[in-house]
Amino acid sequence: MEQPSLADLAPLGPDYRRGIELALAFRRSSAELAGGAVVWQIRPDRTINLTRAGDGMEVGADHVLIATGAMERPFPIPGWTLPGVMTAGAAQTLMKSAGLVAEDGVVLAGCGPLLFQLASQYLQAGVRPGAIVETTPRGNYWRAASGLPMAWASEGYLKKGLALLRAIKASGVPFHRRAQNLRVLGETRADALEFESGGKTRWIETPLLLLHQGVVPNANLAMATGITHNWDPVQLCWRPETGHWGGTNREGIAVAGDGAGIGGAVAAEHGGRLAALEIARRLGRITAEERDERATVERAALRRHLRARPFLDSLYRPPDALRRPADDTTLACRCEEVTAGEIRRQAELGLTDLNALKSQSRCGMGPCQGRLCALTAVELLAETHRVDPADIGPLRIRPPARPVDLTAIMAFDDGTIPPEAALPKETAAPGAKA
């Protein structure tokens, strides 16, 4: 973010420039930045295990603030694992970090503000998408209507979104609404996208297909730390159980930002400041009165920026059929090639738990550690058993929370990694006391 590859930042918009300002402000502070680090474990005593430049490191802390942000929701449709298919977020990351953009004819499919933001950024960068295929159902507009007044009074989110849509419409890029039954066509790579829209089956050839249907908390590190997570029926994901200041059931460990629930970049900024104020109080740097006084401004700003959330969550709620693939041959777990049909079969045999499913089918056992399949799997199990995903429970994530070279783990003494991280346990995470 501090060293953008694009000479002209205009296509990325003011939000990206705001991020650069925050990063530069941090670099001017007295805090130390360990760039390029991969945190793979946070132990109960708040010791952090990480790798950096291939070396294993250990950092002790009195307080830990987990701010892992968001990741994209899985988009399991037939052919989604073919070469030539990416997520919109990955494409945007390439644009931000390396100045790489897609070629003309790229197709964007799915729902959510990021889809339109990326299309607008491409247009400003001189790339003309072949089409935008939106999957938002008609009923979502009616369900979102009650949140419209609050959203309109928020910090300009709707106006910004309408401006993006107007720019896309003015460009003449084909726009298909209420698309259903998406399927990627191709043998060895993606050649085209097939879908139904307006009562017709359509095909669009494309050199690159970008999929997106919203973001969810990037929760694996928090889960591996033993933090209690609950199912959010609105945002359709697991989110950590946090207190007024981001505190969790793990003493001295807090979670803030989109990793604690999707609210957007600006809301994450204010949520992070609130958590930091409480940490500063616990460290004796400020009094409780000073914390509360400074928090008043942050909480007011946070409320303003969250006003649009009910509207956005209702409008861009991904369709059931695109979260729980009806086609049993569709891969749900791309790492271990476990299909939706296999998960349903295991459920019909009596499995009611994601961890048992992992043992029986290897779903969630690959390098992504459930990031790309756990949400799909829990919804498939819940659908088959006709229960709520909360009744199924989350996948039990164990350290290392990120794939890590074995030499990084071997660098520590035998007693460094506690038995509870190394040996499987069948007990649930401890109850919340945030």
162, pLDDT greater than 80 = yes
What's the CATH code, domain 327-397?
1.10.10.1100
For the stretch 53-97, pLDDT in tens is 888 889 999 999 999 999 999 999 999 999 999 999 999 999 988
Contact 326, 366 (CB under 8 A): no
166, pLDDT greater than 90 = yes
Determine the Cα–Cα distance for residues 134 and 176; give it in Å rounded to an integer: 6
Q: What is the mean pLDDT of the chain?
A: 91
For the stretch 100-118, pLDDT in tens is 999 999 999 999 999 999 9
Q: Where are the domains of the chain?
A: 69-218+269-323, 327-397
Determine the Cα–Cα distance for residues 280 and 295; give it in Å rounded to an integer: 12
Q: Is the pTM of this model over 0.85?
A: yes
What's the CATH code, domain 69-218+269-323?
3.50.50.60
- For residues 20-29, give the mean pLDDT: 89
How far CA 266 is from CA of 20, 150, 262, in Å, comes to 13, 17, 11
155, pLDDT greater than 80 = no
2, pLDDT greater than 80 = no
408, pLDDT greater than 80 = no
Contact 96, 12 (CB under 8 A): yes
At 265 the three-state DSSP class reads helix
Order of strands, edge to edge, in the sheet holding 200-205? 180-185, 192-197, 200-205
Handedness of CA 329, 334, 336, 342 (dihedral sign): negative
At 4 the three-state DSSP class reads coil
